[in-house]
């Protein structure tokens, strides 16, 4: 069988999306729609949560969700697509952890560990962020290498989930 006849391997990727500027729900919905235009097949979307800002707290609340998708893209090609979607939706990077129209982070890519100047997978702060873990726990597959750690953190009674509130709008109803 020739190389061109071999079907492309689907890579499973978990993404975190957040917005706290303008029409936050519209930015999330548009970002999810744009993903599907770039060889990224969205399989699951978590409920949307309203969350308090972290690190740089002098800003508005965020809407956050997580997405499980399949893609034939490499991790760095996926990162390029994500940056192009963020730029298209008016994302600026003036203040670290500051306000943004849209923020899309790669949390997990298959079971890979990547540590380069451009990209670190698993995302280095994902297990410290309730605004990531709470929505992620709603969609993470048991086969994911991060499943046990995610679930044990989220369902630990001592884990601080304050500042993360279920938002009543679901993205898939708006697509």
What is the set of active-site residues? 91, 100, 103, 105
Kind and range of the H or E element at 107? strand 103-109
CA 127, 72, 64, 147 torsion-angle sign = negative
CA 61, 131, 135, 22 torsion-angle sign = positive
Residues 148 and 139: their CA atoms lie apart, in Å, by 13
CA-wise closest residue to 17 among 87, 66, 52: 66
């Amino acid at each position: 069988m020739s190389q061109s006849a071999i079907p492309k391997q689907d890579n499973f990727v978990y993404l975190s999306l957040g917005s706290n500027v303008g029409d936050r729900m519209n930015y999330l919905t548009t970002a999810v729609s744009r993903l599907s235009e770039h060889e990224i097949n969205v399989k699951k979307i978590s409920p949307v949560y309203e969350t308090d800002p972290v690190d740089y707290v002098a800003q508005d609340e965020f809407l956050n969700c997580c997405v499980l998708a399949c893609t034939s893209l490499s991790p760095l090609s996926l990162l390029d697509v994500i940056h192009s979607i963020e730029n298209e939706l008016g994302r600026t990077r003036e203040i670290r952890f500051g306000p943004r129209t849209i923020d899309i982070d790669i949390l997990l890519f298959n079971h890979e560990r990547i540590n380069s100047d451009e990209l670190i997978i698993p995302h280095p702060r994902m297990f410290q962020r309730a605004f990531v873990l709470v929505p992620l726990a709603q969609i993470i597959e048991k086969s994911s290498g991060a499943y046990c750690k995610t679930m044990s953190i989220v369902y630990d009674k001592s884990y601080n989930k304050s500042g993360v509130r279920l938002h009543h709008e679901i993205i898939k109803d708006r697509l």
